[in-house]
Chains A and B, each alone.
Chain A
């Protein structure tokens, strides 16, 4: 099967998934009064989720491609949650219960950071085990059989957990309520340490790819990887590099964005003026 043939085959695009995305987006537009950027953020998040779970890209996982699984994780854990938080409608923030929870979130930032890291690493090892069970080859040193318990876990649940973990992880940084966010420099440190975590995971996956080298001698494992004909080793290196370099750059860009706002540092006088203005309005 050729690469283009695979991608233009309608069977590889999930129609129910597409409809679900459309329904969600239209509902969002109808039921919530949001700003243009929020609409854009929500739309983008849905597109990304569809790409990760309903497009031909997602179906490539059935060929046992580790790199595609890593891409799914990056999208669901590291990118989509930011967009969803940005898209959160203001009307939902009227609930005093939610406001109270969102305000308290920053007090548990260590726990939430840990949750994010566990989701990143645990999600990876879980997927590696799942792939191993599917292909019969060791992935990242993990060797699972077809009857392993990991195969019993619904894949939708694991993806949903990733998104939820991502939402919780990003709350101290992108909390819709300003008062619920960490101080700017703390946010930078929060993201930087997460960057170290994702770089370490990427580094581990890349450099453990050597263990996959021996398997390359067996042609069937290469043919399994059509329509993206990559060796097991290249696939694993690509998986690690995706997490290492773009993953890290994502956190760096977020950090720089926070810093750029922080340098402008509103003065006490200006914030008082702003507060007065708001109260008059």
Chain B
């Protein structure tokens, strides 16, 4: 009797740009792997655009009384930088990895709704390009990435930039909702018959939970965006206080979405880290159930803490006090995860691959971001530091030191599976060290700048403020390091893709199902599946005398 379960499906060759039936094959594809790859390219494209915008911002702030660009353009650049990095770089990168890997990890051949998958991608893509079209139609949005009312209303932002922001984000939001629905349904309906829900690989579990977050959070944002669009296009007044609306209401809509969004961007990165650390420590994950359960706790609590983004908006002390407490509480499940990751590495046989090194950078920098976040839960500190560079530093430690490092770790880890080729470890280390060094140069000092009182989004600053110029200069130099790191990454991708495919099916000796198929997988992911009786089916297959605890 075969150990493998047969999966009946046709096995046409996976179409590719150079082997498929014309280049349109990618545009019309509904294959989860191609869509995942397209998401990743889209994310990389916008990451570069957002990075160039960051360089412009840092160039403008590198010296005092600088007027490299106009204040109006500066407003547009920082608004688009934040919006791009969050909605068009990090989100598509994470959704792309999930789209590519989720079916593979659960032993499925496709997502539950392949056409919806394609729809989600193209909505994201269209939303992004539409937002950038605003540069050619009177000016990009310039009210900051969270687009506060009434600044974003017609009275104060009369160009079409904010309208492009609204429509662009509505489209990307629809794409994200579609992706969330697909993730949840795929896990519930298409996983290997032997794989119970409590046996999901942690990345798949995080994506599953993230699917619910996407489904719950993005409708809140889209509702707010539609209301503001109605305000701007049809002279309604949802968010205009002078005519009976409420500007604070926009903040509620935005942050009721915005805080879960932090976890939408963090949970998949946690999932990546939870896959990478055990494989390169040669140990099973320490405390699977705590990592998985704390993910659910984070997801549930994520919707109950948004008001900490509004401590300075004039809520009462009673409200602030409770949200301070709940905001501190949400740090606990995240802390549990960090302890479990460290516990996994403890006494492990660690292989210092680039992926693992990015994971370690993640652990350090994300923890710093988490601690600065916890400091914002203390209301008086929040009042003092709100809208300063301390916030800028915090958000970058969470999204760049956390999410982006996680993505880099994931890219280096799964690149052999996705492309059949190994990224160069040597170039990878250049990428890592330049980027991590530059990142900390740029953003660690911004905590100090914030404490010194430098407001975020400020166009320039006078020369006679102590330490501002030198700290900003070092910060800008750090950005150059990061830029060089990304150049090394791009070069790495380029030279790697030039090489022939020679990666093994399971080059890292990993244990989850995506490594049970070819690298890269054929159009049909699996013709048969190994038996799945634990959370590490490939370990069990290789070590029948010492299998993991049987769970089915």
Q: Which residues of A contact B (CB under 8 A)?
A: 185, 188, 192, 195, 199, 206, 209, 233-234, 237-238, 241, 244-245, 248-249, 251-252, 255-256, 259-260, 262-265, 267-269
Closest A residue to B318 using CB positions: A237
Query: Looking at the complex, which one of A209, A264, A267 makes contact with B289 (CB distance below 8 Å)?
Result: A264
Q: Is the interface of B mostly helix, strand, loop or mixed?
A: helix
Minimum CB–CB distance from A248 to chain B (whole Å) comes to 5
For A195, the chain B residues whose CB sits under 8 A away are 300
Query: Looking at the complex, which one of B198, B316, B318, B326 makes contact with A262 (CB distance below 8 Å)?
Result: B198
Known contacts A233-B316, A244-B322, A256-B297; A265/B196 CB under 8 A: yes
Cβ contacts B318-337/A at 8 Å (1 or 0 each): 11011101100100000000
Within 8 A of A (CB), among B296-353: 296-297, 300-301, 303-304, 316, 318-319, 321-323, 325-326, 329
Known contacts A185-B197, A263-B198, A263-B289; A241/B322 CB under 8 A: yes
Q: Does B23 contact A (CB under 8 A)?
A: no
Q: Does B250 contact A (CB under 8 A)?
A: no
A181 to B303, CA, bound (A): 27
The answer to whether B301 and A252 touch across the interface, beta carbons within 8 angstroms, is: yes
6 contacts between A and B (CB under 8 A): A241-B322, A244-B304, A249-B304, A249-B326, A263-B288, A267-B549
Q: Does B293 contact A (CB under 8 A)?
A: yes
Q: Does B552 contact A (CB under 8 A)?
A: yes
Q: Does B69 contact A (CB under 8 A)?
A: no
The answer to whether A263 and B323 touch across the interface, beta carbons within 8 angstroms, is: no
Q: Does B292 contact A (CB under 8 A)?
A: yes
Minimum CB–CB distance from B551 to chain A (whole Å) comes to 5
Q: Which residues of B contact A (CB under 8 A)?
A: 196-199, 288-290, 292-294, 296-297, 300-301, 303-304, 316, 318-319, 321-323, 325-326, 329, 549-552
For A244, the chain B residues whose CB sits under 8 A away are 304, 322
A209 to B318, CA, bound (A): 11
A233 to B551, CA, bound (A): 53
Query: Looking at the complex, which one of B296, B300, B304, B552 makes contact with A268 (CB distance below 8 Å)?
Result: B552
For B198, the chain A residues whose CB sits under 8 A away are 262-263, 265
The answer to whether A245 and B326 touch across the interface, beta carbons within 8 angstroms, is: yes
Query: Looking at the complex, which one of A233, A245, A251 makes contact with B325 (CB distance below 8 Å)?
Result: A245
The answer to whether A248 and B322 touch across the interface, beta carbons within 8 angstroms, is: no
Query: Looking at the complex, which one of B289, B325, B329 makes contact with A260 (CB distance below 8 Å)?
Result: B289
Query: Looking at the complex, which one of B289, B304, B325, B550 makes contact with A199 (CB distance below 8 Å)?
Result: B304
The answer to whether B296 and A248 touch across the interface, beta carbons within 8 angstroms, is: no
A22 to B321, CA, bound (A): 37
Closest A residue to B298 using CB positions: A252
